[in-house]
Amino acid sequence: MQHNLMTSRKFAPLFWTQFLTAFNDNFLKNTLVFLILFK
């Protein structure tokens, strides 16, 4: 019996946390770079 982790409900919070953390980290880095470049 094979379960797909991407559709498993008990792993959903983990995937969302990882995705949002990576997105937020990249967003903050890019914002800082743009603020420095276009100052």
Distance CA 37, CA 16 (A): 31
**Residue scoring higher pLDDT (21 or 3):** 21
Distance CA 7, CA 5 (A): 5
pLDDT > 90? residue 31? yes
Domain boundaries defined on the chain = 5-38
Residue with tokens 């990249």: 26
pLDDT interval class at 32 (50, 70, 90)? very high
Structure pTM? 0.60
